[in-house]
Amino acid sequence: MTTDTQTRTRSFVQALNEALDLCMDAYPEMFMLGEDIGVMGGDFGVTRRLFQKYGAERVRDTPLSEAAIVGTCVGAAMVGMRPVAEIMFADFLGECFDQLVNNAAKVHYMFDGQFKAPLVVRTACGGGFGGGPHHSQSVEGWFLNVPGLVVVAPSTPADAKGLLIASIEDDNPVLFLEHKALYSKKGDVPEGMYRTPLREADVARQGSDVTLVATMRMTTEALAAAETLADDGIDVEVVDLRTIRPYDVDTIVESVNKTHRAVVAIEAPKMGGLAAELSATISEECFGVLDKPVVRVAGLDAPIPFSMVLEKYVLPGRDDIVSAIRSM
Amino acid sequence: MAVHVDTMLGLYRDMWMIRAFEQGLEREFSKGNVPGMLHTGLGQEATQAALAAHLDATDAFFPDHRCHGINALAEERHAGTGRRIMAELFGRATGVCSGKGGSLHSANPKVGNFGDNAVEGSYMATVLGVALAYQLRGEPGVACCIIGDGTVGRGEFHESLNMAKIWNLPILYACVNNGYAISTPVAEAHASGDIVDMAAGYGITCRQIDGNEIDTAYLAVADAVAQIRAGNGPVFLEFKTWRWQGIFSGEFRPAEEVAYWKNQRDPIKLAASSLLATGEVTQDELDVIEAEAKDEIEGWIGFAMDSPMPDPEKATANVYVGWEIEAR
């Protein structure tokens, strides 16, 4: 993060709103579209007041047409615009999967560089609030296998702002994941324009005994678990991934080479997802220095149920991380 | 004949270019010189020539999988020769996408070609963004989306028509109804065999025309493009036509149907009859046009065959803008 300006306390939602506001002001080629992002300001208030400030042409409400929303982004980006879409819930990405996977991620490649797709698709993901099976999923694993796509996932308000600005300015298509459990989280946020670099993980807590790689809500859980484990005399290093695809292998490897132990903590189901990917890379790159096999803390292999009691059972949390590290 | 004889002669020549292109391609495909799959526009030459005649390099068209002819004509008209489309279909380094796209993904924005997409109908969402960009920037461009009848089954068809209407976008929808989606007849696949009915349901200016009569098609496209450029919003044209190509395993349609379309409704024969009936054109002149078109296409095939294959290491170029990915 490069800034010498003042910081203020802001929520994750406010930080995102600042990023959008600053970019709308700076980039006339930027516009936003999505369901209820106009007068209403978005389902979670991320676009609040931007319709009033920038007008209906640049802050466009749409029908419930996710494929058309993302398709519009792709087409506009192909002719030099810088669109930012809001997909109300990440679970709805299935409706525009083709646009993201076959168009946004491929127009630069398959036409051999003749087009770019500088678009951002923001979406609210993750569980923990009783949203049920279709309003709670962690979807990053769906997109891990898509070359050309960038997947960004902040865990702090400051990074939310810096990463969103960097994503809007980047010439690649970015899927920007906003975990709902973080929306009300507050933190220090610098004023004005600044960029948190893409593809760079953040060592959110220095430690020497075990590397704990996490993202979004699980970074928060990881930091809490690290405090608990500190009381046991276990010094945990927390690596916040920040960009999920392509991710920062170097920072992870450097950390594991120091600690000789690795745990990955991801909210999505364990099978075939980000936890599996990170575990495989750490095993490949650091096998010679690992004192123990890599451990995955992840969601159970089930959809996210509605009742809070059931949901809590399925989703991983700080206690699971603490147990996993204690048993290493 | 409502079109001037000189214009008709030009269109007659364009139709022969399309036919010679596709027949040359079929021949080379059968010899194993063209990789992948082959879908030809044989029988649909009038529709394609009419569309190509009215699209400027500053417009954008999304061709369907049978549009080699439009792609080639656009190259010829705006870049001097269509041979780089041919080379692309042969997977050569000199192709418009350096061999990365092939028949189903040929694009060149310099001539207005925004690329086919092998997920039929996917670009019905993309076209919205191009048109919206033109509208927001006050540019006169028309975004043209060429689709087959099968695409009507896609959700994007309906999302696109709806949004084009509510946003009054400068889009020309050109639906080439050739009677079948691979093997499925239109009447079995769609609620209305007249696709224009569906466009009418969205309140879009629409018209059904004989896609095998070049003068009718030419004038219909001219009128539609003029309306769109005047800011009157989207226009939907349904061209009733018939494709010569059967399915991969061969001909599946009744012999009488095949004979009728090939003998009595061949767009090139129909145009020749009209031209000869004026008394201003001789059969010899038409024969020269045909021979010259075939010669030109053979030159393009020779160019493609003589062109080098791409450097294999280029396979990892342009996955991301500005980021290299790991080579083999």
Buried b (16+ CB within 10 A) or exposed e, A273-288: bbbbbbbebbeebbee
In a domain, A63, yes or no: yes
Q: What is the residue type of B111?
A: V
Domain boundary among A190, A221, A254: A190
Examine the fold and report which residue of A169, A190, A211 is the final residue of a domain before the chain moves on: A190
Has residue B315 been placed in a domain? no
- The answer to whether residues A182 and A240 belong to one domain is no
- A180 and A275 share a domain? no
Taking the C-alpha atoms of residue A85 and residue B56, their distance in angstroms, rounded to an integer, is: 30
What H or E segment, with its residue span, contains residue B78?
Answer: helix B68-79
State the pLDDT at residue A324.
98
Which of A190, A212, A247 is a domain's end point? A190
Which residues of chain B are within 8 Å of residue A57 when distances are taken between CB atoms?
A: 136
| pLDDT for residue B35 is more than 90 | yes
- Indicate whether A37 belongs to any domain: yes
Nearest CA distance, B322 vs chain A (angstrom): 8
| Strands of the A202-205 sheet, one edge to the other | A202-205, A236-240, A210-214, A262-269, A295-299
Question: Are residues A294 and A160 part of one domain?
Answer: no
The arithmetic mean of pLDDT across residues B28-36, rounded, is 95
Q: Are B188 and B159 in contact (CB under 8 A)?
A: no
- Say yes or no: A182 and A254 in one domain: no
Nearest to B163 by CA among A33, A250, A20, A183: A33
**Chain A residue numbers touching B163 (CB-CB < 8 A):** 62-63, 65, 68, 72
A313 assigned to some structural domain: yes
A74 touches chain B (CB under 8 A): yes
In a domain, A196, yes or no: no
Residue of A nearest to B107 (CA): A111
**CATH code of B259's domain:** 3.40.50.970
Give the Cα separation of B160 and A90 in Å (integer): 22
- pLDDT level of residue B284 (50, 70, 90 thresholds): very high
The answer to whether residues A180 and A44 touch, using CB atoms and an 8 Å cutoff, is: yes
pLDDT digits (tens, 9 = 90+) for B222-257: 999 999 999 999 999 999 999 999 877 688 999 999
For residue B291, being part of any structural domain is answered with yes
| Cβ-based contacts of B318 with chain A (< 8 Å) | 108-109, 112-113
* Separation between Cα atoms, residue A15 and residue B88, nearest integer Å: 47
CA distances from B18 to B46, B69, B172, B198 (A): 9, 5, 21, 30
Q: Is residue A159 domain-shared with residue A258, that is, in the same domain?
A: no
- Are residues A211 and A72 part of one domain? no
Q: Do A185 and A241 belong together in one domain?
A: no
Same domain, A272 and A305: yes
Closest CA of chain B from A65, distance in Å? 6
CB B238 within 8 A of CB B194: yes
Instruction: Note whether B58 and B113 are within 8 A (CB).
Output: no
Chain A residues within an 8 Å CB radius of B115: 107, 110-111, 115
Structure tokens at B102: 């092939």
Q: Which of A58, A76, A172 sits opposite B320 (nearest CB)?
A: A172
| Same domain (yes/no): A12, A156 | yes
Mean pLDDT over B272-296 rounds to 97
Domain count, chain B: 1
Residues A164 and A308 in one domain: no
Q: What is the pLDDT of residues A93-102, one digit of tens each?
A: 999 999 999 9
- With H, G, I as helix, E, B as strand and everything else as coil, classify residue A221: helix
> Distance from B185 to chain A by nearest Cα, in Å?
26
Size of interface A-B (CB pairs under 8 A): 144
Range of the domain at A294: 202-326
Residue A195 forms part of a structural domain: no
Helix axes A12-26, A157-169, angle to 10 degrees: 30
Residue B69 lies in a domain: yes
Alpha carbon distance B228, B235 (integer Å): 7
Q: Which CATH number do you get for residue A130?
A: 3.40.50.970
The answer on A226 and A313 residing in a single domain is yes
Q: What is the pLDDT of residue B249?
A: 67
Any idea what the CATH number is for the domain that residue A224 is in? 3.40.50.920
Q: Record the tokens describing residue B15, joined without a space.
A: 């139709």
Kindly report, residue by residue over B172-217, the tens digit of the pLDDT. Answer: 999 999 888 888 888 888 888 899 999 999 999 999 999 999 999 9
Q: pLDDT tier at B143 (50, 70, 90 boundaries)?
A: very high
Contact A67 B163 (CB under 8 A): no
Contact A70 B156 (CB under 8 A): no
Which of A58, A62, A79 has its CB closest to that of B133? A79
What average pLDDT does chain B have?
Answer: 95
Boundaries of domain holding B201: 5-309
- What mean pLDDT comes out for the span B6-23? 98
Query: From CA A76, how far away is CA A82, in angstroms rounded?
Result: 7
Identify the segments of chain A with pLDDT beneath 70: 1-4
Contact indicator for A154, A197 with CB cutoff of 8 Å: no
Q: What is the DSSP letter of B141?
A: -
Could you give the CA distance from residue B113 to residue B100 in angstroms, rounded to a whole number?
A: 15
In total, how many domains does chain A have? 2
Does the pTM of the predicted model rise above 0.90? yes
- Strand ranges in chain B using DSSP code E only, listed in sequence order: 60-62, 143-148, 171-177, 180-181, 184-185, 205-210, 235-240
Inter-chain contact B163–A65, Cβ cutoff 8 Å? yes
Between the alpha carbon of residue A43 and those of residues A11, A12, A130, B283, B324, the distances in Å are: 16, 14, 16, 68, 37
CA-to-CA separations, B182 to A246, B35, B128, B266, in angstroms, rounded: 39, 20, 26, 20
**Would residue A249 count as lying in a domain?**
yes
Q: Does B125 touch chain A (CB under 8 A)?
A: yes
B93 interfacial to chain A (CB closer than 8 Å): no
The model's pLDDT over A148-201, given as tens digits with 9 standing for 90+, comes to 999 999 999 999 999 999 999 999 999 999 999 999 999 999 999 999 999 999
B321 in contact with A, Cβ within 8 Å: yes
pLDDT of residue B188: 85
Of B33, B94, B91, B89, residue with least CA distance to B63 = B89
Are A76 and B117 a contacting pair at CB < 8 A?
no
**Does residue B227 lie within any of the structural domains?**
yes
Q: Which residues of A are catalytic?
A: 135
- Interchain proximity B122–A98, CB inside 8 Å: yes
**Distance between CA atoms of B309 and B76, rounded to whole angstroms?**
23
pLDDT of residue B327: 84
**From CA A177, how far away is CA A154, in angstroms rounded?**
7
Q: How far is A163 from chain B (nearest CA, A)?
A: 17
A225 and A164 in a common domain: no
Beta-carbon count within 10 A of A271 CB = 12
Best A82, A114, A198 residue to mutate vs chain B (most B CBs within 10 Å): A114
Asked if A179 and A153 count as a contact pair (C-beta separation under 8 A), the reply is yes
Residue numbers of B between 9 and 38 with CB closer than 8 Å to A: none
